[in-house]
Homo-oligomer: A and B are copies of this chain.
Amino acid sequence: MDIRQLRYFIAIVEEGKISVAAKRLHMSQPPLSQQLKAMEEELGSILVERSGKFLEVTEAGKSLYLNALQITKLMEETKAEVKEVGEGVNGRLSIGVNTFSVSGLPDTLEQFQKQFPKITYRIQQNESAYLLQLVRDRIVELAIIRMPLDLNDFSILHLCNDPFYFITSKEHTSFDTEVTLDEIKHYPLLIPSTEGLGVHYLILEAFSRSKTHPNMVGECSDISLLMDLVASDFAASIVPETLLKRYRGYPINAYRISSKNELNGSVGLIWLKDHSLSKAAQNFIEMIQKV
C-alpha cells in the first residue's frame, strides 16, 4: 500500500463516486477502480460496497479513510518540516560556549531567535579544549572558544580580542590603571580554569615570556567562587575583560595588564572545516558576522 493509493481512496470516499473522484485526481476512471481493487486484495477486505449508482463505504473502509487522512497529513507536514530544516528556518542549533567568552552572545541569540523563531537550541557550557573535542565529534556544530588552541581542522571566525585584567580585593589600591606582570608577581595568584587549558595556559605563557614567575596559589574552574575568593582577599587573579564585564559592580579592583606583556586572548567562533554545516548554523554565523 502506497501514499498514492491512500490519496486515491480518500478521494473516492469523499466524492462518493469513483468517476467523480477520478476527475478530482485528474485521471480516468479505470485505473482508480483497479487501484481500489488492488487495495482491497492487499488488505483482504472489501472497502466500499458497489451497489447501484452509489458507493457505500464499509466499516473497514471508514477505518482506512480515517487513517489515510492522518498518514497523508503527516506526510505533508514532514515534507514541510524537512524543507524548513533544510532552509534553516526550523531545526536545532547546537552550540558550545565557554564561560569566559560569552560577552555578546545573549543579544545575538535574541536577535537570531527573532529572525528564526522555530529554531530550538542546545547550548553547552564547557572549557575551550573540551568544546574543541565536542565540535570534532560533531556533538555540537559551533563553539565560541578562547584562543589559542590547536585549530588545524577548524574554520574560525574571530569575534573579539579582549585584554586581561589583574584583579584584587578592594584592600589593594597600590596601582594605577595598568600593571605589568612583573609588578604583580608577588601577589598570590588563583588562576581561572584548570591546568593545560586555554586561559590557564595563556596566562602562564605570558609570565614565561616576560621571564617572571607568578606566585601561584592554584587554579579554580568555578568562576563565581573565584571572584568571591578574590573579593575576600584570599588571592588575586587574572581574568579576561569579558568576564569582568559580567561581574561589574563586584567589590574588587581591576587593573589592566600592560600590553607589553602581550597577554590577551582572542575569542572566536569555530566549526569543523571539512564538514557541511546545517543551514541554521550558517545563518547564525552570518548573523554574527554582521554584528
Task: Name A residues whose Cβ lies closer than 8 Å to a Cβ of B.
Answer: 1-4, 43-47, 49, 51, 56, 58-60, 63-64, 67-68, 70-71, 74-75, 77-79, 81-83, 85-87, 90-92, 138, 274-276, 278-280
Contact = CB atoms under 8 A, between A and B. Distances in A.
Which residue, of A4, A60, A138, A279, has the highest number of chain B Cβ atoms within 10 A?
A60
A1, A59, A68 interface centre (most CB from chain B within 10 Å): A59
Given A74-B71, A75-B1, A75-B71, A49 B82 contact: no
A82 B46 contact: no
Given A2-B4, A45-B87, A85-B45, A67 B74 contact: yes
Given A4-B2, A71-B71, A280-B59, A46 B78 contact: no
Contact of A92 (B45, B59, B83): B59
A279 B4 CA distance: 27
Contact of A85 (B59, B74, B90, B279): B59
B70 A74 contact: yes
A83 B44 contact: yes
A45 B1 contact: no
16 contacts: A1-B3, A43-B79, A43-B82, A43-B86, A44-B86, A45-B85, A49-B275, A51-B275, A56-B275, A58-B86, A59-B92, A59-B279, A59-B280, A60-B82, A71-B71, A71-B75
